[in-house]
Amino acid sequence: MDPNIIPPLFTCETHPETVVSALEPLLFAVYEAFEVVPPEVEHLIEREGIERTPAIFNHLVRCKAKVRLRAFDCQDEDNEASSLQIEQVMLDGLALEYRGLRFRILKGAVLPTAQSSQRQLFYQQELPLWSPDMPAPALRSLVILWDTDSTWQFSHLYLVAPKGGDARTAEAFWQVEIRHPAESIAPPPSGPTGPDRGDLDNVRPRSAPLVIGKKE
């Protein structure tokens, strides 16, 4: 193996709780940002008399969450520099890089369909020449979903490993809900297991990937 090539941190068959545990500092920072920001946006809308629409509310939440995440100081254990990078995205979208992984932070409780070619490429983890008889492809992209309840308050945060999608569908290897930082996260299983073994609360198994939308 070329010594200059850094091996992937995870593959698409890595147990989701193992991924969550390794990304805990970032996920907790994202959770805290989206827990605090919606009430701040509510206060801003009321104070300034801004028309409240889903588009305006979500836009303001993204803007304020980005400010909070920029202040997030996550030091990599092997690097003195911060390992979190925030990309510039149109319409104040949230795109991050952390520990060699790419993240998109999107609104909703399920993986949105891939309406653009850029999102389709982001969802696709497997190389074009990959086949089932080859080793599991590296996990390169993850989606963090945030959602609100009927009163516009933050309600859930999910981590999703996308598998693919198009303008009508979206498919995931797994989806797991991120608990409140005050709650402990169960350690990963000690034995060789995968997303389609055992009873995993809030995890969509690898053998039955999440599909959003209808196929013709």
Q: What is the pLDDT of residues 144-160, one digit of tens each?
A: 999 999 898 999 999 99
Considering only CA atoms, which of 214, 211, 208, 207 is closest in space to residue 123?
Answer: 211
pLDDT band at 215 (very low <50, low <70, confident <90, very high): very low
Residue 78 scores a pLDDT above 60: no
What is the per-residue pLDDT across 90-136, written as a single tens digit (0 to 9) for each? 766 899 999 889 999 999 999 999 999 889 999 988 665 666 777 78
Nearest to 94 by CA among 53, 139, 121, 63: 63
Of residues 78 and 9, the one with the higher pLDDT is: 9
Q: What pLDDT, on the 0 to 100 scale, is given for residue 135?
A: 79
Residues 23/99, Cβ–Cβ less than 8 Å: yes
How many beta carbons lie within 10 A of that of residue 138, not counting itself?
Answer: 18
Check residue 91 and give left, alpha or beta (phi > 0: left; psi -120 to 50: alpha).
left
pLDDT number for residue 206: 40
Phi, psi of 55 (to 5 degrees): -65, -45
Angle at alpha carbon of residue 193, lines to 190 and 199, rounded to 5°: 95
Length of the chain (residues)? 216
Q: What pLDDT does residue 84 have?
A: 85
Q: What share of the chain is helix, strand, coil (3-state, %, to 5)?
A: 25, 25, 50
Block residue for tokens 């400010």: 67
Tens of pLDDT, residues 147-199: 999 898 999 999 999 998 899 999 999 999 999 887 754 555 555 544 444 33
How many CB atoms neighbour CB 118 within 10 A?
11
Q: How is the chain split into domains, by residue range?
A: 16-182+195-212
E runs forming strands in the chain: 84-87, 94-98, 101-107, 141-148, 154-165, 170-177, 210-212
**8 CB-near residues (< 8 Å, 6+ apart):** 100, 138, 139, 140
DSSP H or E stretch at residue 21: helix 16-22
Angle between helices 24-48 and 54-70 (to 10 degrees): 130
Place of tokens 């369909």: 113
pTM of the model: 0.77
